[in-house]
């Protein structure tokens, strides 16, 4: 009786080991999957200053963020080629907060003539949010001509209530 039990026990232990091996294999496969996916798809997230200073190195694909300058936006209706310039904004969140929040950083950067600028080309539908003082987050690569060729273009307009100063009714 007790021998039977022991036999069952060892058999069960053997089976549990199979699960441990299966689990370890699965974990190894996932880690491998993550690493290979990271290798092909990780991008440096740079500011305009860093990118124009050549910090991207040889990376094929980078992500860069800047503020859209409204009067530089050109859109070709025939080819859907979109070009515009962005100006440098700090990449660090604490720095942005220290300067009074995203909305005011975007505003002052768009007016600063000394801020580093970057010319951007994108092909496709002109996004609704592309306008002066919007934050553009672009993924793509630098061309030899010094223009940034964006494959992905995301835009963000800070929600209004950070700035919210109401206009007054007549007293």
Residues within the interface to another protein (CB under 8 A):
12, 15-16, 18-19, 22-23, 26-27, 30, 33-34, 36-38, 40-46, 63, 65, 75, 77-78, 80, 91, 93, 97, 101-102, 124-129, 131, 137, 139, 152, 154-162, 164-169, 171
CB of 39 to another protein, least distance (A): 10
- For residue 128, what are the β-bridge partners? none
Closer Cβ to another protein, 59 or 111, answer by number:
59
Sort 121 into a burial class: Cβ within 10 Å, 0-12 / 13-18 / 19+: middle
Report the Cα 79 to chain-centroid distance in Å: 26
CB of 113 to another protein, least distance (A): 24
- For residue 119, what are the β-bridge partners? 85, 147
User: What is d(CA 148, CA 48) in angstroms, rounded to the nearest whole number?
Assistant: 10
CB of 118 to another protein, least distance (A): 17
Closer Cβ to another protein, 60 or 144, answer by number:
60
Closer Cβ to another protein, 113 or 171, answer by number:
171
What residues contact residue 56 under an 8 Å CB cut-off, 6+ apart? 44, 46, 50, 62, 142
CB of 149 to another protein, least distance (A): 16
Closer Cβ to another protein, 40 or 146, answer by number:
40
Task: Give the DSSP H or E segment for 144.
Answer: none
Q: Which residue has the tokens 């660090």?
A: 92
CB of 147 to another protein, least distance (A): 21
Closer Cβ to another protein, 116 or 133, answer by number:
133
Closest Cα partner for 89 from 107, 71, 72? 107
């Amino acid at each position: 009786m007790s021998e039977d039990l022991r036999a069952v026990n060892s058999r069960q232990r053997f089976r549990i080991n199979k699960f441990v091996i299966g689990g370890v294999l699965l974990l190894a496969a996932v880690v491998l999957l993550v690493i290979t996916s990271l290798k092909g798809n990780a991008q440096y997230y740079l500011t305009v200053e860093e990118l124009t200073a050549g910090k991207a190195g040889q990376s094929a694909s980078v992500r860069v963020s800047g503020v859209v300058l409204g009067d530089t936006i050109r859109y070709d209706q025939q080819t859907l080629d979109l070009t515009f310039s962005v100006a440098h904004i700090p990449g660090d969140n604490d720095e942005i907060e220290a300067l009074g929040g995203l909305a005011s950083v975007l505003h002052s950067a768009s007016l600063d003539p000394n801020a580093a600028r970057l010319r951007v080309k994108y092909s496709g539908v002109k996004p609704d949010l592309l306008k002066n003082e919007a934050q553009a987050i672009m993924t793509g690569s630098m061309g030899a001509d010094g223009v940034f060729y964006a494959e992905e273009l995301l835009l963000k307009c800070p929600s209004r209530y950070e700035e919210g100063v109401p206009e007054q009714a007549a007293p």
